[in-house]
A and B are shown apart, each in its own frame.
Chain A
Amino acid sequence: MLKSKNGMKDGLLNSVKAGPPALLELSSKITALVVDDNTLNQTIHHRLLDNLGIQNQVVGNGKEAVDVHCSGKNFDLILMDMDMPVMNGIEATRKLRTMGIRSLIAGVSARSTEKEKQEFIEAGLDDYQEKPLTTTKLASILHKVKKDG
């Protein structure tokens, strides 16, 4: 019934699979942390990662991201939103790097100024993608995790 949709999804997964070894196989061993204050984005990013078999956790701001690391947890990939209350993505990235966290941190931000983007990158990002996140953008981030992993 949903043949046409499956065809699309297979195409997408094939593009994700491009590059040895099959990204999909590797991605099932990757863990991720979604840091975003917007509940809708949390749902979508969580689903995007679930779809690729990536175990993931969701937190609502930079401070929660730091706290979860303080509790001893570690992730291969952190999807970090920029604009968040309590502690924003720039501060959180800086703090995590200072703590010695080596995870791949991908900044995911709505269109911001070049200056803000630079500041975010300089805080310690490994990658930067503009929101909204899509499967293709996530695939390009995952290729980086695979390379450095």
Chain B
Amino acid sequence: MDGVVQLQKQLVDYTASLFHEGFLDEQFNQLQQLQDESNPDFVVEVVSLFFEDSERLLNELGKTLEQKTVDFKKVDAHVHQLKGSSSSIGAQRVQKLCIAFRNCCEELNTEGCLKCLQQVKHEYSLVKNKLETLFKLEQQTIAAGGSIPTL
């Protein structure tokens, strides 16, 4: 029993830290509320979609910014998508960087855009890491017979 309690505490603390450090915001809670017995993997599914979507977009962004003549409309469209997705799952830091990224697009600033892309890639890999760790902790907690506590 102690083991489960420990795991649950670890899970609660870890989740709280993600909110505290600004990796996740309230929208992530909203996603968790949509999960239930009929859809027990909803959050993992949505977040997996987010990973796929983001990686595709980051790839496209890299290619588009490498072109001799940068199509800023295309760049902006991709960043807009990424901003929307990150906002929908509560990936706050990524979302905020996308806002700055769009400003660089408006200014037709290639160098600025490249810098923003680096920053977004970095934040994305951080939040991906954090979320994967979170899911692992949840799996361990459930496997040990515990439940996922809501914040």
Contact = CB atoms under 8 A, between A and B. Distances in A.
A113 interface: no
A28 interface: no
Interface in A37-71: 37-41, 43-44, 47-48, 51
Contacts of B35: 5
Interface in A6-21: 6, 8-9, 12
Contacts of A48: 34
Interface in A95-134: 110, 131-132, 134
Interface in B42-56: 42, 45-46, 49-50, 53
B88 A44 contact: yes
Contacts, number: 73
Contacts of A135: 30, 33-34
Interface string B77-107: 1001101110111000000000000000000
Contacts of B46: 40, 43-44
A43 B44 CA distance: 13
Contacts of B40: 2
A51 to B, nearest CB: 6
A40 B50 contact: yes
Contacts of B31: 44
A38 B84 contact: yes
A102 to B, nearest CB: 29
A29 interface: no
A83 interface: yes
8 contacts: A2-B147, A9-B33, A38-B85, A40-B84, A40-B85, A44-B46, A44-B88, A131-B84
Q: Is the interface of B mostly helix, strand, loop or mixed?
A: helix
Given A6-B36, A38-B85, A43-B46, A134 B53 contact: no
Which 7 pairs across A and B sit closest by C-beta, in order of nearness? A38-B84, A40-B85, A134-B30, A1-B147, A132-B88, A40-B88, A132-B27
Interface residues of A, number: 26
A44 B148 contact: no
A6 B85 CA distance: 26
A43 B45 CA distance: 10
Contact of B36 (A2, A40, A110): A2
A147 interface: no
B5 interface: no
Given A41-B88, A44-B34, 9 more contacts: A2-B148, A4-B150, A5-B36, A5-B150, A12-B33, A38-B84, A40-B49, A51-B34, A110-B87
A3 interface: yes
A5 B32 contact: yes
B147 A38 contact: no
